Chains A and B, each alone.
Chain A
Amino acid sequence: MIALRPLAHRLATLLLACGAAVPAWAAEPEGDHGSGHVHPATSLLFFASAEAHRFKPGTPTRDVNEDVPLAADIVLTVSRDRFRVFGEFLLSREEHDLERFQLGYEAAPDTMVWFGRFHQPASAWNLEHHHGRYVQTAVTRPATELWEDEHGILPQHLTGLLIESARTLDDEAGLRYSLGAGLGVAVGSDGLEPVDLLDLHHRGHRLSWTGRLAYVPQAVEPTQFGLIAARHTMPVIDARVAAALGADRLTQDMLGAFVDWRHEAWRVAATVYGLRTTFDGGASVRRERLLVGYLQLERQLPHGLTAFAREEDSHRARDSAYVATVSPNFETRRLSAGLRWDWLRRQALTVEHGNGVTSRGRQSDVRLLWSAVFP
C-alpha cells in the first residue's frame, strides 16, 4: 500500500470530499444576494492509466518518460458565479502530488484570474494534455515536454498568478492569451524542483514568468497556432550541481512557436522552442543556446483507430551543460509511431514504438497503454 504523507493524505481526502459534497452545494438556490440562477457547477474526473513496456537497453524507467505501471489523476472543478476552485491530484507508485491547485475569479467574460500552483502556459503540449494521458493520442509526451520529476528540461509548474483570456476578432476567429508569473523551479541534485504545495520548504525559488498567445481561425474548431515565451530564474541549490555547472544561478529565456492544425481526419501538432541559458557564477557569466522541437502527425481511421507518428529533434542539446545536468538521459532525437484504439466509451488502448538517441547512445522502447476516464 502506498504510504501517503499525512498532509498529502489530508489534501487528497479533501479533494474527494469536495467532489462528494459540492454537487449539493452547487445545486442549492442562491440567497437574496444571488441572481436566482441554479446551475450544477462541479465536475470530478478520474483519469486512470496502466502501462506495460520494454526498453532496449534496459534503461531505468524514470529516466525515460512518465511510464509508471499504474497511475490515477483526480481532477476536480467547482464553479459558482464568478468563482472557481480547481485541483489536480496525481497518484502513482512513484509519486503522489498535488499537481495543480488554483483559486479563480472571472474578472470579465472569458477572462479568468487564477492564484495557486498551475501548469505554465508556455508549454504547448502540456497546456493541452496536462496529466490526463487519455486525452493525448500518443503514449509518450515529447522529451522536451517531460515534467520536472521526469528530468524535464523546461520548468512546468509555477506557483503564483495566472491570467487567461480570450478575445473575438470577428464572427469566426479569436485570440487566446495567457500570462503566468510566480515562483518557478530550483535546480537540485535530481533536476528541476518546483514548489511542492504538500511539502512547503523555501528552497530559494525565484520569479518566473511565462506567456502564450494563440490565434484561433475558427472558434468552434480546435485548430490554433501561436507564440510562447518564458523567463525563468533558477537558483542552483545543490553544491555539487553548482560546482558542475560553474554557476549558482541560471536564467533561462525561451521563445517558441506552435501549431495545432486539424482538418477532418488529420491533425498536425508541431512546436519549436529556442532556449538561452545564462550561467551566473558571480564572477563569471556565460551563455549557451539550443533549439528543440517536435512534429506529430495523426490520422483518424475507421473503427475508432488513430495512427500517429512523431519526430523529435534538437540542435546543440547534445553539447549543453544545462541539459546534461538536469536531464542526463535527454533524447536529443526520437522517432516514434503507434496506433490508438478507442475501443470503449472513454477507454483507449495505445501501442507505441520509439527509437531515441541520447548522449549515452541509442535506445528504443515498445509501450502498451490502457487509458481511461471515469465517469
Chain B
Amino acid sequence: MTLAARLRRLVRPLLVLLLAQAAPAHADERLVLVVAANSPITALSSKELHKLYLGLTVTVGERRVRPLRNDADALMHEVFFQSIVSMSEPVYDRRMLAQALQQGVLPPLLSSTRAVFDHLALDPDAVSFAWATDAEKDSRVRVIRLLWRR
C-alpha cells in the first residue's frame, strides 16, 4: 500500500466523523416560508420569492411584501443561494451591492431565527424562511409552504 493510500485510509474516517459533527441540528429538516400569524399573505410563488430577494417589488393585493433574510446557520445560508435566489454568493452579493449604490434598499439580514420571528410578529407584510421545526414551535408565525427539504 502506498503512503498516499495509507493517508487516505486514515483521513477518510476522520473526515466522515468531522462532517457528521458539523452537520446542523436541522440536517434532516425542511426549510419553510413563514409570515406572521396575522399576515394577509397566503401564497408566494418561487418566482415572486426570487424577485423579492433580488430587491424587486412584489405586492399582495395593495400591500408590498418585505423580505427578511434569515442567516441563522451555514446550511440555511447555502440553501438560500442554491434554492431561493439560484445564484452563487459572489454574484448575488455584487448584484445587491450595485443595487445599494443605485439608492436601493437591500433585504435585511438577520443572524438568528428568533430575531426573524420577532420581526415577523411585528410586520404582517414581511416574509422570511426558517426550519420547519422552529416555525412549528412559535405561534406568532405561520408556515406558507415548503421551500427545500434534505
Contact = CB atoms under 8 A, between A and B. Distances in A.
A43 B105 CA distance: 8
Given A114-B103, A130-B101, A219-B56, A37 B122 contact: yes
Contacts of A130: 101-102
Contacts of A164: 103
A130 B101 CA distance: 7
Contacts of B126: 37, 39
Contacts of A84: 103, 105
B47 to A, nearest CB: 7
A134 B98 CA distance: 9
A306 to B, nearest CB: 9
Contacts of A95: none
Nearest to B108: A40
Contacts of B103: 77, 84, 86, 102, 104, 112, 114, 164
Interface stretch (B6-14, B18-26, B87-95, B138-146): B87-95
Interface in A59-100: 75, 77, 79, 84, 86, 88
Interface in B103-117: 103-106, 108
Contact of A38 (B54, B64, B106, B119): B119
Contact of A220 (B47, B66, B101, B102): B47
A363 to B, nearest CB: 30
A110 B57 contact: yes
Contacts of A75: 100-101
Contacts of A166: 57
A304 B122 CA distance: 40
B123 interface: yes
A373 B97 contact: yes
A346 interface: yes
Interface string B37-55: 0000000000100110010
Contact of B100 (A36, A77, A112, A128): A77
B95 A222 contact: yes
A342 interface: yes
B97 A39 contact: no
A37 B100 contact: no
B100 A45 contact: yes
A132 B56 contact: no
A127 interface: yes
Interface of B: 47, 50-51, 54, 56-57, 59, 64, 66, 89-90, 93-95, 97-98, 100-106, 108, 119, 122-126
Closest 3 CB pairs of A and B: A38-B122, A130-B101, A40-B108
